[in-house]
Amino acid sequence: ENCIRYDPENKPGVSNLMSIYAAVTGKTYAQIEQEFAGCGYGKFKPAVGDAVIEHLRPIREETGRILKDKAYLEKVYKEGAEKAGFVAEKTLRKVYKKVGFVAR
């Protein structure tokens, strides 16, 4: 049977694809079944892939923009290093105190 319907017990693969499609499009299973009524897996599978790509597009575009902004990346890196250094120094002082070393 080559129909698109949500049936996790008998059609786990299609049901999984429907769950993914529903998550990225906001459509219900009934809406998906209606949209792909009369269509086979050959049309549904690429539609799921396209929907996922479209859903992730803003993230991919923002990641690309950030990776091109070397000044921003350097700023974030330096701020992170400063915060990490502060936390590490604070922790090290606590350790020194506990083991009886003289703090620097």
One domain for residues 53 and 74 = no
Q: What is the pLDDT of residues 60-77, one digit of tens each?
A: 999 999 999 999 999 999
Distance CA 33, CA 19 (A): 12
| CATH at residue 62 | 1.10.240.10
- How many folded domains does the chain comprise? 2
Q: What is the pLDDT of residues 76-101, one digit of tens each?
A: 999 999 999 999 999 998 998 889 88
Rg for the chain, CA atoms, rounded: 26
Residue pair 41/15 in contact (Cβ under 8 Å)? The answer is no
**How many helical (H) and strand (E) elements, i.e. helices and strands, does the chain have?**
4, 0
Residues 7 and 27 in one domain: yes
Q: What is the pTM of this model?
A: 0.70
Give the model confidence (pLDDT) of 18-35 as tens digits.
999 999 999 999 999 999
Say yes or no: 7 and 46 in one domain: yes
pLDDT at position 43, please? 94
